[in-house]
Structure 1
Amino acid sequence: MNRRHFLFALMTSPAWRLAAGADFAPVLAGRPLRFPADHGAHPDFRTEWWYATGWLSLPDGSPLGFQTTFFRVRTGVGEGSASAFAPRQLVLAHAAVADPRRGRLRHAERSARVGFGHAGAEEGNTAVWVGDWRFALEGGVYQAEVKADDFAYRLSLRPDGPPLLNGAAGFSRKGPDPRQASYYYSRPRLAVSGTLSLDGRAQPVSGQAWLDHEWSSELLPEDAQGWDWIGINLDDGGALMAFRMRGKDGRALWAAATLQAAGGAVQVFAPEAVAFEAGRTWRSPRTGIVYPVAWRLRVGTRAFELAPLIDDQELDSRGSTGAVYWEGAVRLVEAGRERGRGYLEMTGYGDRIRVG
């Protein structure tokens, strides 16, 4: 059994499920986020991720989407053991490039237990890696490095302002029970530059990205099937984040949004002010899962539409996190005009998503 299959077997085993009762740190309202410390890992919490997504342009102007995601998982397994081999913490990573000329997503994944130089997630500042993949904050600029079979990239992502705190000063409710919450901030409008290789051909790229950093110990409502989420860099210099937690019947269990104006003013929207309405669908030829790839979205008094860069942006991560989901580049349209670009994530359209 190779390492990837061992980790997947661990995460789906009875021992893993029993570990849900371990003494994980709670997410509590009123705990202020502190930087730079909260850029780093929070190993007392069960689940954590750094999620960088964005649009890139090739020298000829052709658009691409990219995703770099690192997950840190406290398993609750082996915490009473002195063995260095006990898989107390795991790091799992997903990377993808949405290439319209190819018509589908290029993607890859990695996973390893923390230790022995195979993987790590440092406290105090962003520095997370698995093998030769890494994501780190160095001198105020994020660095992303990924090498896969048919693509690779080395990107610099430069923030243009302080972190955007979602929810109540970074305390983000995910359900009607306040224990269903995360600490959550975003870094919108990241200026991207670097090099991207497709099938061995390296080219310079530039663009704009979005980073989410989120950590939790109890994220999903018990009857949740999955979620729908967007992070959009607006053309006027603003930013929009919105999500809904979706029940098994397809209805919203919870929703929220954060809208930042170009000048920095922030509006936070309660569940009743956020509505996702599915539009056109696409069926994956590989998994048979049907995803709504076009959406109508209401945030407060504003109405938007979402249109994908390409339909086929399904990521099959059953070799690491065990999930199959859609994560793709989208355009945001308001009153018939494109107003921004970003990413849409849809989980739980096949099997129920399991996080935290």
Structure 2
Amino acid sequence: MRKTTVGAAAIASALIASLTLASGGPATATTAADSTAAHRTASAKGLTQTGLPVLVDPVAGLTYDPDQANQSWYVTAHVTAGGHRYGFLAHYLNSGFGKQGGAVSRVSIVNEDTGWYTKSEIALPPATGLSDKQGVDIHTDNITWTGDSKEMKLRAKVPEGTIDVTFRPRGSTLYNMGTGYFPMFGDAQYSNYEYALPTVDTSGTLTLGGRAEKVRGQSWVDRQWGPLPDISTGRASWSWMNLNLSNGDKISVWNQKYDGKKTDFATILKPDGTQTVAEATLAPDESTLWTSPTTGKSYPTRWKVTIPGEQAKLNVTVYAKNQELTVPGPGYEGSAAVTGTYDHRPVTGNTYIELTNGQ
């Protein structure tokens, strides 16, 4: 499988210049499952009309590409089972970091009512458990994830039990930066591609301590690939959220830092399939730091997300503080609740917050 990269750096430079939005108005594009982009605005709010080219294929893009050193298959879910709300994560990362590189297969589950948390993390040689079979085809000791953009099966293991679910994506694809392409840290040498299937009906079974419960809920499947710097040096870090809001909007929010330089933006998928790329701020509440007894790293447990173009002021609070992952290095993948206002109206929701390098 090959990805379209011709002119990507030039497109990104133009996009960043136009989407920095000195005038405060976001750019929009409408996208559909067949990877086409229409030329219309998101609403009657005076948003800038654009026709951004879509640079990824959400069907073919699920397949492992051996030519890409850094690749990620990531799914988070918010479901109900046995009268409780749960969040779960399954993540396979094939990384080119360091001299040899490697892979990691990670699973976590949190009871969003009680704060109970468990995880499984496995370090692997590069590309272990991957194949170039069309679609997702991942097989490790704690993740078996197969299927395509119409239906996927996931079996994920933690010490206390298993998650066995079927994913059925529906609705529109979210293309980060409106095209599926963006330079991490605003630097074209780190050309990354990312898209999401943010509306995925999820059903199956959660088995913990020998007790099986039916699962129902929603998942967000995220796919990303492209070169990255070695974040273990401490020069680069990021915060990321995948917001699922009660008004139907799905939002990917990035806060990227490299040698003190910040790059922030949000990609918003509207219920009608229209996408908006907008300025955003993801600000941690430093008074809520939780320090890991395992690694000594500190992580915020509350944030404020603002998106001026949407009149959005959102509060994000984790369901449990101890959602740290330590393989390949300390980081945070935390299920969290969202409250606040959006377009001057009350809104609720949920998300996962991904943090690298702690504080």
TM-score computed with the length of structure 1 as normaliser = 0.77
Letter in 1 for 2:262: L
Residues 75-130 of structure 1 show CA distances to partners (whole Å, capped at 9, x for unaligned) of 898xxxxxxxxx8x854210000124663420002344468xx6223253221222
**Who is 2:262 aligned against?**
253
1:227 matched to 2:238? The reply is yes
Alignment of 1:122-137 (within 5 A): 122-131=132-141, 133-137=143-147
**Who is 2:300 aligned against?**
292
**Who is 2:349 aligned against?**
340
Percent identity over paired residues? 21
**Who is 2:65 aligned against?**
42
CA contact (8 A) 1:259 1:267 kept: yes
Which of the residues 198, 202, 211 maps onto 1:192?
202
**Who is 1:180 aligned against?**
190
**Who is 1:108 aligned against?**
120
TM-score computed with the length of structure 2 as normaliser = 0.76
Residues 120-144 of structure 1 show CA distances to partners (whole Å, capped at 9, x for unaligned) of 2325322122236211224711211
- CA shift in 2, pair 1:219/1:256, >3 Å: farther
How far apart are the structure 2 equivalents of 1:184 and 1:333?
26
- CA shift in 2, pair 1:75/1:179, >3 Å: closer
Give secondary structure in 1 for the equivalent of 2:189: coil
Letter in 1 for 2:88: F
CA contact (8 A) 1:155 1:194 kept: yes
How far apart are the structure 2 equivalents of 1:99 and 1:339?
19
- CA shift in 2, pair 1:225/1:262, >3 Å: same
Which of the residues 328, 332, 338 maps onto 2:334?
328
Letter in 2 for 1:186: A
**Who is 1:7 aligned against?**
none
Gaps spanning 5+ residues in structure 2: where? 12-53
**Who is 1:9 aligned against?**
none
Letter in 1 for 2:308: G
- How far off its partner does 1:55 sit? 0.9
- How far off its partner does 1:229 sit? 0.5
How far apart are the structure 2 equivalents of 1:150 and 1:101?
18
CA contact (8 A) 1:65 1:329 kept: yes
Letter in 1 for 2:354: E
Give secondary structure in 1 for the equivalent of 2:240: strand
Letter in 2 for 1:43: P
RMSD (Å), alpha carbons: 2.8
**Number of equivalenced pairs:** 304
- CA shift in 2, pair 1:267/1:76, >3 Å: same
CA contact (8 A) 1:331 1:338 kept: no
CA contact (8 A) 2:129 2:140 kept: yes
Which of the residues 271, 279, 284 maps onto 1:278?
284
**Who is 2:87 aligned against?**
65
How far apart are the structure 2 equivalents of 1:257 and 1:164?
11
How far apart are the structure 2 equivalents of 1:171 and 1:134?
28
- CA shift in 2, pair 1:289/1:47, >3 Å: same
- CA shift in 2, pair 1:114/1:182, >3 Å: closer
Alignment of 1:136-215 (within 5 A): 136-138=146-148, 140-215=150-225
CA contact (8 A) 1:230 1:242 kept: yes
